Amino acid sequence: MSKAILELAHGKMAGMIVGAKVPVVLTSRGATSEEKYLSLVLSASAVK
């Protein structure tokens, strides 16, 4: 489903795992530099 949104709506993807003691960043091998950066920003914003 997420790949369809990315392709059809030209969206951006960012991912992380929640519930761990530290943020875990998820990226794809095919992710753009911007998507990797957005994943880092998302994870950094989750740190208390």
| % of the chain surpassing 90 pLDDT | 4
Computed over every residue of the chain, the mean pLDDT equals 82
Task: Dihedral sign for Cα 12, 2, 42, 34, please.
Answer: negative
* This prediction's pTM: 0.67
Q: How far is CA 47 from CA 16, 18, 27, in A?
A: 12, 10, 18
Plot region of 10 (φ>0 → left; ψ -120 to 50 → alpha; else → beta):
left
- Band (pLDDT 50/70/90 cuts) for residue 4 is confident
